Every structure is written in structure tokens, then in C-alpha cells.
Amino acid sequence: MVSTVPSAAMAIRRRMKELGLSQKDLGNLVGRSQAWVSQELLKSPEHTIRHLWAKEPETFTRLLHALQWTPEEFSQATGIRFPSPVVDSSSFIPTTRYRMPIIEAGAGPPMWNENAEYITLDLPELRGKGERELFAVRVKGDSMEPTLTDGDVVVFWTEGAPEPGRVVAVHVHWDGVVIKRLQRYNGSWYLYSDNP
């Protein structure tokens, strides 16, 4: 029976010889046993390397360091290629930077003055909505979960018309600003929590 050694294994063996590394030495440097080097790395190099690259990046990095190769040099010597992340720029959404006042839900009446806290957010362009018509509210509590959670920041447009089902920020006397869902029932408007 004739056994063939994959070319990647031959390249790794050559490199080990150049560096004066035994299987045991390489195993120690990588944090694995001599048996792993013999039975995994050199027997099924492509499978083993792809596993390390995807699931054990620290071990993969130690292997490269032990062999004194960069990822590019490793690929060139062994013929094993690694998938590179492909970014589809057509899926990018352009953003515009907006600076607006931010208040806490339930923190009393909104104060739009020089002492107000401001937040700067990069948002998708809000066509037709000027920066002066926007404000942000930091959610307090769990009344709007799962839609909004404690600490979320919600941006509101002051010129929007009321529509059933829309999330709104409303100043309620003695309760400050609350974030609720607007509903219409029998000709009247009501505020509802998503988490009653």
C-alpha cells in the first residue's frame, strides 16, 4: 500500500527541519502533544488548519509563530487558502451626524436650554427632518419591552403627526416624559405599554 503525504504536510515538515523543530518541539510551542502534530497536523493538514483558523484562532496563531510564518507565507508555502471576509459595499447605509438634546424618560419636563445634555448620533439620513426638530429620550424601565429596553436611546421627531401604533414620547404632568405606544379607540387617543 502506497501512502501519499499531502503537499501541505511536506511544506510543514520542511519548515520544521529548517527551524530544527521536532514534532515534540512543535507540539510544545503550539500547546499540543507530539501525537497531535503527527496524527492531526501532518496527517490531515488542510482539515486541521481550517479547524484551527475557524475555531481555535489562538492555537493557529501559536502555530504560525512557532513556524515563523505570516498567514500569507503559510498559505504560499502550504497551498492552504483561508477565506477572507468579503464586505458587500452595496449593503452599506450612508449616515448623517445629528446632534440633539437627550432627556431621560420619567425625568420631569423636557428642558431645551443651553444646560441640556446633548447626544451626537450617526443615523441614516432622516429626509425632511431638521436637526432642530429632533430630540432623544433614554428609556427607563421595562414598560416597552421587548420593543425598547432600559437604557435604549430613542430619537423622536417633533413635527410628526399622530398615527395609531406609533411609539411616542409624551410629557405627562407629575410623571415627566413617558414613552408609550399610541392607539385610537372610539375616537379617543390612548397610550399603551408594550409590556402591560
Identify the structural domains of the chain with CATH numbers, from first to last: 7-78 (1.10.260), 90-192 (2.10.109.10)
Tens-place pLDDT, residues 48-57: 988 888 888 8
- Write down the mean pLDDT value for the chain: 83
Q: Which residues contact 21 (CB under 8 A, 6 or more apart)?
A: 29, 66
Tens-place pLDDT, residues 59-70: 888 999 999 998
pTM above 0.85, yes or no: no
Tens-place pLDDT, residues 91-120: 667 788 888 888 888 655 555 555 678 888
Statement: residue 40 has pLDDT above 50:
yes
Tens-place pLDDT, residues 126-157: 877 888 888 899 888 888 888 888 888 999 98
Task: Compute the 3-state secondary structure of the chain and give helix, strand, coil in percent, each to the nearest 5.
Answer: 35, 25, 40
Q: Which residue has the cell 479547524?
A: 51
Strands 176-185 vs 153-157: parallel, antiparallel or unpaired: unpaired
